[in-house]
Amino acid sequence: ETGVTQTPRHLVMGMTNKKSLKCEQHLGHNAMYWYKQSAKKPLELMFVYSLEERVENNSVPSRFSPECPNSSHLFLHLHTLQPEDSALYLCASSQVDTNEKLFFGSGTQLSVL
């Protein structure tokens, strides 16, 4: 069982659809993150949840809505996306108050048509 699991692996959606990305971590961590990886751009931090509270929102458009119901699960709700939102969305987790590394999932490759 991998440490951080993301579903689905691939998602194709129209601009009027509503979908959700799911992330689950089995590492006992208490912080979770969403990153966006677009072609030819560095990874961009989108959201950070620490102890189930959102502590970071890097000027992300409101069409992206995160949810962290507990320390093991993280969702990214998508609605009325734009084609430029097509990217690889990576989830990660870590343990707050240590210097430990982030553990990443395999990502969801999103295509917006």
Residue of 76, 67, 91, 59 whose CA lies nearest to 18 = 76
Residue 52 or 80: the one with the smaller Cβ distance to other proteins is 52
Distances in Å between the Cα of 66 and the Cα atoms of 41, 74, 96 are 22, 7, 19
| Choice from 12, 15, 55, 113 touching other proteins (CB under 8 A) | 55
Q: Does 41 bind other proteins (CB under 8 A)?
A: yes
- Residues in contact with other proteins, total (CB under 8 A)? 28
| Choice from 13, 27, 45, 60 touching other proteins (CB under 8 A) | 45
Q: Does 27 bind other proteins (CB under 8 A)?
A: no
Site for other proteins in 74-103 (CB under 8 A): 88, 90, 92, 94-97, 99-103
DSSP letter for 85, please. G
Q: How far apart are CA 28 and CA 100, in angstroms?
A: 13
CB atoms near residue 78 (< 10 Å): 21
| Choice from 20, 50, 65, 71 touching other proteins (CB under 8 A) | 50
Residue 78 or 94: the one with the smaller Cβ distance to other proteins is 94
Question: Which amino acid type is present at position 83?
Answer: P
Q: How far apart are CA 37 and CA 14, in angstroms?
A: 20
Residues found near other proteins in the complex (CB under 8 A): 30-31, 40-43, 45, 48, 50, 55-56, 88, 90, 92, 94-97, 99-107, 109
